[in-house]
Structure 1
Amino acid sequence: MTSEESINLLAVVIDTNPIAWATAAQDSRCPLDFGRVLEQLLIFINAHLALRFDNELVVIASHTNQSLFLYPPQLSDTDQPPDASSKPANTYKQFFDVNQAVIKTLKDLITESKSPEDVDDKSMLAGSLSLAQTYINRIRRANDPTPLQSRILILSVSPDLPSQYVATMNCIFAAQRVGTRIDVCRFRGKHYGEESVFLPQACHLTGGLYMEIPEAENLLQYLLYAFLPDPYMRSVLCLPEKDQVDFRAACFCHKTVVDVGYVCSVCLSIFCSVSKQCPTCQTQFGGQ
């Protein structure tokens, strides 16, 4: 199936955890500025839309207490559509609409969560992946029987959350089943963006790309070179691959990543220590 015969849908998941970005901005060697990252990301998004007239796009924010659509905008009954007169005459309308929707929704999100009690250190990555796959499924059904090539790009800076391991892996396997690739563009500096365990697994299982970006100034180059080509074009390109993938899992009892675990033969739950009874399905183990 060639790219000309199918619709290309790109789902972008942006990690908007304010604590993670604040930590990255204070890095002495290479501070990470969210505004600069957003500027380059919007250029990449516009490039995706410019490749074909029927390319589809959805942008989702993975925040600390919620996951929400940045684009397409979710207008309520009281919201007003954007004023067309404010668009510069020499600006392509779709580019303008995407940029304005993403920036406005991000500003509203930051304003709503500016109080310290509203800020958490956990990003809702699993919820954002579920939201992205739900939207992909809706677009696939709406355009049937036209084939759909879908992929998810995660822009990540937060550490892994073992407590979301099960939900995250369920999303990964769901994406693998329907042929949705998961790409990860992860920022990693000296004092932020520790090595991820779960995200490389997502890329490996779905056939996506995993890349670590050392600084924000070169982000656009990575995005255009590695993540802009659709799945069909990647088959004829020489793209970087991650040599080794860490397949460790998180235990169900303490939500921590373990090197050696014990698996229930009935429900496949993973535990860090031996027990006589499975805490998940209550199965009794013999020979203790």
Structure 2
Amino acid sequence: MATNPPTLLLLILDLSPSTWGHRSIIRTAKDKALAAKKKSSAGPAVIDDVIESSLAFIAAFCALNRDNVVVVIGATESEVGVVYPRKGGDGSMNDVVNSRGSERVDRGLMNDYVRLGVAELVKRAAERREQTEKQREQSGEKIIPVEEGVAIASALSLALCIINRFMVASHAGVSALSDATTTYQRRDDEGVLALMGGDTGSGSNAQEPPQRGLLTPRTLIIQSSPDRTSDYNALMNCAFAAHKQNVVIDGCFIPSDRKEDPTSSPYLEQIVHQTSGNTGNGIYLSVPKGPAQVNGALSEVLLSVFLPPIHLRKEMNLPKLNQVDFRARCFETGECIDIGKVCNQCLSIFKERPRERCWTCGAKVRLKANGGSAKRMKVDT
């Protein structure tokens, strides 16, 4: 029997074509200059580096315990999706969940499917962005820049839904709300199939309490794009839900070398902080710029910081969130503000009152007198 309890890992990858496209241009220019001096690359990381490091991390994670389960979710500006396991055929969700031991997943097949899923998601996102810009040009409308950032909130919501699916199955189909525990159990003769609510052929014993295994959920978010201000409320709701169910969230931010780009993610810091209390040990790390992101160094960072099991983290010298920026930020500009306007429909915060509609929920803004000449922001429902 393994000494480490099995873990369900939801790995969320930032696959924004815009973000990685810009970094690829920077990397190519820098590599040419360094090659002329016979020096190796000094970063920043490109999407291939992240995929290679993520696959190395997944392989090490699965080696910790034969019952560990991995689901990889990709996120772009406009779409999120499960890139592994794939639907249907070899390497599908049923194959990953139902198999056991060394036969659980073919590593070569997993690597190929992760790369294929990433390529498909990135291609769809790039084509959608190109089509949107083309339609705006043909219609004669003023081209409005696509909002920066990636749909991390949607990806985290999807991850929590998948975790909840495991939870419901572990309760023999009963709603997960009937029990707040986040340890999912199974018997020796059932495999992980029981977690998905499959028929194990156990007969009358199917409803008996499981005797083996604790499947503990955790999520690792690898982000490179700037925070999307309009997703703040959704992210915080996901963080509160994860904290309530003791789902640990880890965050890894990979900054670029451009001065105008952020060096950290305040939103990611905050949601990790929500699971850094007595019920969990969420870890946040902003990877250093330069050589720490290339030539295998990123793999070392992921393995040394985020691989250790949750129950061992308190015994290790891992990065800690000593200072978290909790200042309010304008949902339109992302600026830190001391005084702002709040939409009473969706509670979004703005530095200046929106002119016509709430930038987040689209509710129409109107002014209502409040004690004489004083006015406050109102929205029509």
Instruction: Give the TM-score, by structure 1 length.
Output: 0.81
The 3-state SS of whatever aligns with 2:86 is coil
Q: Which residue does 1:169 correspond to in 2?
A: 236
User: Counterparts of 1:59 and 1:186 in 2: how far apart (Å)?
Assistant: 17
TM-score (norm 2): 0.63
Secondary structure of 2:106's match? helix
Quote the Cα distance in structure 2 between the aligned partners of 1:184 and 1:257.
22
Pair 185,54 (structure 1): closer, same or farther in 2 beyond 3 Å = same
In structure 1, how many angstroms separate the alpha carbons of the residues matched to 2:321 and 2:52? 27
1:62 aligns with 2:75: yes
Q: Quick one: distance in 2 between partners of 1:126 and 1:65?
A: 11
Q: Please tell me whether the aligned partners of residues 305 and 318 of structure 2 are also in contact (alpha carbons under 8 angstroms).
A: yes
Contact 2:12 2:221 in 1 (8 A): yes
- The whole-number CA distance in structure 2 between the counterparts of 1:186 and 1:108 is 23
Q: Which position in structure 1 is the counterpart of 2:194?
A: none
Tell me by how many angstroms 1:140 deviates.
2.1
Partner of 1:202 in structure 2? Answer: 271
> Matches of residues 171-250 of structure 1 in structure 2 within 5 Å?
171-191=238-258, 192-207=261-276, 208-213=282-287, 214=289, 215-217=292-294, 218-250=297-329
2:64 alignment partner in structure 1 = 51
Unaligned runs of 5+ residues in structure 1 are 83-90
Aligned to 2:9: 10
Task: Give the distance between the partners of 2:46 and 2:348, measured in 1 at CA.
Answer: 40
Letter of the 1:48 counterpart: F
Task: Give, as a single letter, the amino acid of the residue that structure 2 aligns with 1:159.
Answer: P
d(CA) in 2 for partners of 1:4 and 1:261? Answer: 52
Q: 1:141: which partner in 2? A: 168
The whole-number CA distance in structure 2 between the counterparts of 1:102 and 1:283 is 51
Counterpart CA distance in 2 for 1:31 and 1:122 is 18
Q: Displacement of 1:72 after TM fit?
A: 1.6
Pairwise mapping of residues 251-262 of structure 1 onto structure 2 (< 5 A)?
251=330, 254=332, 256-262=334-340
Answer yes or no: is the 8 Å Cα contact 1:261–1:270 preserved in 2: no
Quick check: 1:129–1:171 contact (8 Å CA) kept in 2? Answer: yes
Residue 323 of structure 2: SS of its match in structure 1? coil
Residue 98 of structure 1 is matched in structure 2 by 110
CA distance in 2: counterparts of 1:7 and 1:283, whole angstroms = 55
Tell me the secondary structure at the aligned position of residue 227 of structure 2: coil
Question: How many residues matched?
Answer: 272
CA contact (8 A) 1:140 1:148 kept: no
Task: Return the structure number with greater relative CO, CA threshold 8 A, min gap 6.
Answer: 1
Identify unmatched segments of 5+ residues in structure 2. 31-41, 92-102, 133-145, 172-183, 186-213, 277-281, 375-381
Q: Do 2:17 and 2:125's aligned partners in 1 also have CA atoms closer than 8 Å? A: no
Shift of 1:164: 1.1
* AA of the residue aligned to 1:141: V
* Residues in 2 aligned to 1:114 and 1:183: alpha-carbon distance in whole angstroms: 28
Return structure 1 stretches of 4+ with deviation > 4 angstroms. 3-6, 118-121, 262-269, 279-287
Percent sequence identity is 30
Q: CA deviation at 1:114?
A: 4.1
Larger-gyration structure (1/2) = 2
Task: Between 221-230 and 20-29, report the one with greater CA deviation.
Answer: 20-29
1:264 deviates by 6.2
Give the letter aligned to residue 16 of structure 1.
L
Bigger drift between 60-69 and 236-245 goes to 236-245
The superposition leaves residues 5-27 of structure 1 with CA deviations (integer Å, 9 ceiling, x where unpaired) of: 85411110000001111222215
Residue 154 in 1 paired to residue 221 in 2?
A: yes
Contact 1:64 1:122 in 2 (8 A): yes
